[in-house]
A and B are shown apart, each in its own frame.
Chain A
Amino acid sequence: MNCMHATRLLSQARERRLSWRVRLGLQVHLLMCDACTQFSRQLDLLRQAVRRLTHRVERDEKLNLSSTARDRIAAAVEVQKELLSRVWQNQDQNSTD
């Protein structure tokens, strides 16, 4: 197993369960290879970092809907409510007819 194989397997291990034979080969490689061990740590760090980044955007109170967008959405909600109430009125009339 060379480093290119090892890194591909380290990546795939996050999507599927590798066979025990492959896992063993990978462990042996990692014992001997500092570079791939470092790579494996970086994959863990990438996951943690990208999660933190996402949560930071989610909680960033400076990022808000613009007032234009808010008005547009409110107007769209109004239109939809109006349409729905007409549909439902018709349905109610039909069911009582």
Chain B
Amino acid sequence: MQLMDTPDNPHDWLAEHGDYLYRYALARVRDSYLAEDMVQETLLAAISGSAYAGKSSARTWLTGILKHKIIDLFRRQSREIPLEAPDELMEDAPGMEEFFQADGHWSEAPKSWGEPASLLQQDQFLQMLQQCLDKLPHKLARIFMLREVEEADNEEVCKDLAISTTNSWVMLYRARMGLRKCLEINWLAGGELK
């Protein structure tokens, strides 16, 4: 029996796609050791699992495996770190006093950050966003990334992270509120992250 029906051997995968897979993982798990582990798990799964059918490029195929590995990691992590009591996350999102007055009006109305097209070109703005993401509780950052970057279906996300749909709405709301506030305060102050 042939070792596998693949056009090239796994060592080439590591040489040719290893760095790309690493960066892809790093952008999502945001930890270099975890990202290395993800690359290793991906390549091991690639040589042991279903053969590469050659329908897509090897890179696309490997990235698909990596995506699943990352979701598995998130799932494991969300089991290890129990969610705070559901009550805390529920309706009328407590903790929102930080953002709103008792009558539901903004404590501090959102301000313009500048021209979106130009902001997106600025490294400093993106770095600030990175720092704000790092400050967000992990599980909020993770669900935010899954929805906004991966465009993962919300029902799937809920299943993967073992949370209810309502919980996901509250978590995403908190993530967005927290991020925008962090960005606004620090970007408009023009200085270092507070």
Contacts and interface: CB of A to CB of B under 8 A. Distances in A.
B126 interface: yes
A51 B116 CA distance: 14
A4 B101 CA distance: 9
Given A3-B100, A4-B104, A88 B116 contact: no
Contact of B112 (A38, A85, A88, A91): A38
In this complex, which of B3, B43, B48, B176 has the most chain A Cβ atoms within 10 angstroms of its Cβ?
B176
Contacts, number: 155
B40 interface: yes
A19 interface: no
Given A4-B100, A38-B112, A73-B36, A15 B154 contact: yes
B44 A58 contact: no
Interface in B1-56: 1, 3, 10-11, 14, 18-20, 22-24, 26-28, 36, 39-40, 43-44, 47-48
Given A70-B18, A76-B40, A84 B168 contact: no
Contacts of B61: none
Interface string B103-135: 111100111110010011000011001100100
Interface string B44-84: 10011000000000000000000000000000000000000
Given A4-B104, A39-B110, A45-B116, A52 B24 contact: no
Interface of B: 1, 3, 10-11, 14, 18-20, 22-24, 26-28, 36, 39-40, 43-44, 47-48, 93, 96, 99-100, 103-106, 109-113, 116, 119-120, 125-126, 129-130, 133, 144-145, 147-149, 154, 168-169, 172-173, 176-177, 179-180, 183-184
18 contacts: A3-B100, A4-B96, A8-B173, A12-B173, A14-B147, A35-B109, A38-B109, A39-B110, A50-B133, A53-B126, A56-B126, A58-B27, A63-B26, A65-B22, A69-B22, A76-B44, A88-B1, A91-B1
Interface of A: 2-5, 7-8, 11-12, 14-16, 34-36, 38-39, 41-61, 63-66, 69-70, 72-74, 76-77, 80-81, 84-85, 88, 91-92
